[in-house]
Structures are given as structure tokens and as C-alpha cells.
Amino acid sequence: MDLEMGLVLGTMYFGTRTDEATSYALLDRYVEAGGRVLDTANCYSFWTSDTGHGGQSEALLGRWLAANPGLRDELVIATKVGVEPTDDGGTEGLSAAVIEREAARSLERLGVDAIDLYWAHGEDRSTDLEETVAAFGSLVERGVVRRLGVSNHPTWRVERARAIADRLGVEPFTALQLTTSYVDPRPGAQVPGKDHRFGFVTDETVDYLDVQPELELWVYSPLVQGSFDRADRPFPEAYDHPGTTARLASLHRIAADHGVPASQVVLAWMLAKGWKPIVGVSSLEQLDSALASVQLDIS
């Protein structure tokens, strides 16, 4: 399978928790294996930074790209705007001014002329949706962004934004970025660290994708922070229900039949559905395991 059509390398902690040497080694290994899609954000990762602001991941990618001249044209680079903290304790949002300003800052940090896929990272209901859609569309019209995606938004807002884009004659959102896995939390249960109200894939999401084939689904946190393989990282309590028990039993049986970790089966299952799992790794061993899932043939 072509990795450009599947596995995405998430770079959230590159330049903060993951030091530069390790980050470079991960990027090199991913590209050597045929991977071509990198996902970051302007806010990565403010919560681990002494400054309280993000930009470290984009800046590291920019330095890595500069050290590998000629590679940029082979890559798909995706970044996001919308949830970087402001100095007054708020969130930047998705006004036209913010989108314009932050796109320029991301381009500068990355050291590129265009962003291949620019995501609206989170909702901003304080800004008129038409203003947001027009601002994103303007970036595409000027050639500084090639495609648009939307993350952590309810389906009805995505559809409304796409309808506005059609009316305005500008580029629509053609990718969704949400979280899901082979197991799901109980309906209504709070999952630690998942504070986006509409961040999870639902049955409605899947139905929407079925009738909008031009839309892609990118999945963040597909492996639930290592819970499938690591005894020291149990699933959050919200996943403790009979459905999880049954699905894990099936998953571990298939993994045993293939002689691979359960996480590889989860990633292969998503790839077989045409979804793009974003893998966040901090070691070459973790990356190599994720890469092996691309070759795993499951029904």
C-alpha cells in the first residue's frame, strides 16, 4: 500500500517532549519507508512549552526540511489553526484575521511556500461561519494553501461550511480529522484528554462519509495512547463496558493468528476502511511497528 494514501506521521511533540535528534531520526525512517504525509499544528505543543505557546513542531519540521533539500516536493504537509492560546487566556479562534496571520506564521516556521492541507482545528462560534470559509478559500485562491480540512466540528457545521463554500465559489473542506479506534467509550462518558465536544467519530460521521465520497477521514489517537499493547497504559475507565470486552477478544485472536501486536491490526483495519490513521510515536521501535501495519493483510 502507498503510505501517501494511508499512514500519516503525527509530529505533535516534535521539538518539545521528543528532542530534535529523535525527531529527525523518526522523520528520516518514515520517509525511507515510503511515508510522505506529515501532520502538525500551529499550537503544538503549547502545553509542554515553557512559553505557553506552540509552534515548536512546525519550527522543527522547517529545520528538518532545510537539512533535506529537494524532499519538500515529495511530501504532503498538513497543519492547523484555531486553538493556539492567546496571552489573555483565551483561544485564537477562526476569524479571517487569525487565519491570515497564522497561515503566514506557519509558512515561515515550516519554511515552505504552500501548506498542502490546512485544518480548522476547532470550532469558533463567535465568528460568522461565512467569514471563516471565505478566509480559508482566499488562501487557496492565492496558492498558499492547496486543500482544506476541518477537525473537531459537528457534522452539521461541516455540511453548512461546505454549502457556504459552494455558494461563494471557494474551496470547500474535503477532509475531516477526528478521533476513534477499534473500541469506543461508553456513550456520554468523559474521556481524559479528549475535551473536544464533537471530536469523536460517530455513526453519523460514517454515514456522512458514505454519501460524500470526496471527503477523507484522518484519525488522531487511533491507538488510545498505547493501550492496545501496553499493560502500563490501561484503557481509560470510559472504555470499560461489554462492547470493549467483546471487541478486544476478537482483536487479540486476530493478532495472535497473525503473530503481530494488536496495535498493528487496529491500524490495518483502519487502512482497509480507507481511513488515514495519524500515528504519534516517540521511538523508532514504535514507528517500525506502525509501519509494519501497512503490509498486514486482514479481511
Q: Are 127 and 91 in contact (CB under 8 A)?
A: no
Task: Give the pLDDT mean for 206-215.
Answer: 96
Mean pLDDT value of segment 81-92? 95
How far apart, in whole angstroms, are the C-alpha atoms of residue 60 and residue 67?
Answer: 11
User: Which positions are annotated as active-site residues?
Assistant: 44
Pick from 102, 98, 105, 166: nearest CA to 137:
166
Contacts of 189 (CB under 8 A, 6+ apart): 237, 238
**Are 50 and 88 contacting, i.e. CB atoms less than 8 angstroms apart?**
no
Taking residues 7-19, report their average pLDDT: 97
Question: Quick check: 5 pLDDT over 80?
Answer: no
Q: Which amino acid is at 106?
A: S
Q: How confident is the model at residue 1 (pLDDT cuts 50, 70, 90)?
A: very low
pLDDT one-digit tens code per residue, 32-67 = 999 999 999 999 999 999 999 999 999 999 999 999
pLDDT digits (tens, 9 = 90+) for 225-259: 999 999 899 999 999 999 999 999 999 999 999 99
Cell 519540521, residue located: 61
**Burial environment of residue 232 by CB neighbours within 10 A (0 to 12, 13 to 18, 19 or more):** exposed
Query: What 3 state SS string does 163-180 have?
Result: HHHHHHCCCCEEEEEEEC
Amino acid letter for position 57: S
Q: Please, which pLDDT band fits residue 270 given cuts at 50, 70 and 90?
A: very high
The pLDDT value given to residue 190? 87
Gap between the Cα atoms of 106 and 75, Å rounded: 16
Q: How confident is the model at residue 210 (pLDDT cuts 50, 70, 90)?
A: very high
Q: How confident is the prediction for the chain on average, in pLDDT?
A: 95
Tell me the average pLDDT across 203-209. Answer: 96
Residue 38: helix, strand or coil by DSSP?
strand
* Whole-number pLDDT of residue 193: 78
Go through the domains of the chain in sequence order and give each one's CATH number. 3-295 (3.20.20.100)
Calculate what percentage of the chain has a pLDDT beyond 70: 98
Residue 2 banded pLDDT, cuts 50, 70, 90:
very low
